[in-house]
Amino acid sequence: MTAKLTIRTAAKAWLRDLETRKQKPAKPATLKVFSSVVRTHVDPFLGSHAVESVNNVVLRNFVAYLSAKNLSPKTIHDALQVAKSVVASCVDPETGEYLYRRGRDWNHRFIDAPTIENQNQPCATAEEIETALLAAPIFDQVMLALASGSGIRIGELLAVRVVPSDVSSSWNRDTATLDIKTSIFEGQEQAPKTKNSVRRIELAQPLNDLLRRFAASRTDGYMFGNGAPPSVGMMRDHLDKYLPSRGFHSLRRFRGTTLRRARVHEELIKTWLGHRVVSNVTDLYSRVSSDESFRREECDRVGLGFSLPR
């Protein structure tokens, strides 16, 4: 008799496929998150279940198990989605046909996962950033100003080099721009989060002048590293000195908020932040984000949204 395929075995195959598939292989950071969810939440409760036995009742009990651990609604939803994805990933090796339930086959009302609301998504304020800049030495000052004035992700920030590069993220002091092409994950340089993350970001002139002073004598290397990029943990420790428990994403949210308050075209906001631009048919005909002179005008008009120390 053929042994039943268990969730534990199917999850290993799902993770392996995410890593090795030719179409859109998952990034190392994504794999790390999914592996953690499988190891911490999915495997202890569902690991020994036969995949074919996982139905709405089993997932309802899984949600109850997670809730009893006092996990947040977001964590419960993430674990539930991973479990569903593992089940949905199982295919017949000969025909390629899916074997079990797909997304629309689940009774979400019956499974009864908690509602996600009031997530903690802090956004730094101009006053907080200015106070932090006044208290910070030059290294931390540049780190805070560049993250707040460009909206780049922490991995992208670590990857920025001080001279233009064809293959890596870099700063161009002459054009006052950042070219985001790579990101740092666990000390290694890799392609950024998505293809939309590969982009050019115009910098306000005061910020570019600050970078010029900071990197005046530098001719190569990372903006914030000496030979190698600093660790995410070290940079977070530096940030926590001035904005405790806020995180780098609070600076990214600040930039997005600043651009919206200035009524920057949504297409340009998405381009600068590295989000997907096309959301409807009309967007296919727009060329706002590719107009370099317009982008520069908008960057100079909006400025930083905060004042740099004199």
The pTM score is: 0.78
Question: How many Å from the N-terminal Cα to the C-terminal Cα in the chain?
Answer: 77
∠ Cα 279 282 287 (to 5°): 95
Q: Which domains does the chain have, with CATH numbers?
A: 7-111 (1.10.150), 126-302 (1.10.443.10)
**Contact at 8 Å (CB) between 180 and 193?**
no
In the chain, pLDDT over 90 holds for what percent of residues? 71
Q: Which residue has the higher pLDDT, 226 or 80?
A: 80
Strand partners, 238: none
Sort strands 177-180 and 199-202 into parallel, antiparallel or unpaired.
antiparallel
Q: 138-150 and 232-240 are packed helices; what angle lies between their axes, rounded to 10 degrees?
A: 100
State the pLDDT at residue 235. 93
For 30-82, what is each residue's pLDDT tens digit? 899 999 999 999 999 999 999 999 999 999 999 999 999 999 899 999 999 99
Query: Could you tell me which residues come within 8 angstroms of residue 133 by beta carbon, excluding any fewer than 6 positions away?
Result: 141, 144, 145, 306, 308, 309
State the pLDDT at residue 10: 95
Enter the tokens of residue 52.
């074919």
187: left (phi over 0), alpha (psi -120 to 50) or beta: left
> pLDDT grade, residue 285 (50/70/90)?
very low
Do 251 and 124 touch, CB atoms closer than 8 A? yes
- Mean pLDDT, rounded, of the chain: 90
Amino acid at 64: A
State the Cα–Cα distance between residues 33 and 9, nearest whole angstrom: 18
Question: For the chain, percent helix, then strand, then coil, each to nearest 5?
Answer: 55, 5, 40
Q: Does residue 15 surpass a pLDDT of 70?
A: yes
Higher pLDDT, 301 or 96: 301
By CB neighbour count within 10 A (0-12 exposed, 13-18 middle, 19+ buried), where does 34 fall?
buried
Is residue 201 classed as helix, strand or coil in its secondary structure?
A: strand
Residue 67 burial by Cβ neighbours in a 10 Å radius (0-12, 13-18, 19+): middle
CA distance 64 to 58: 10
DSSP code for 39: I
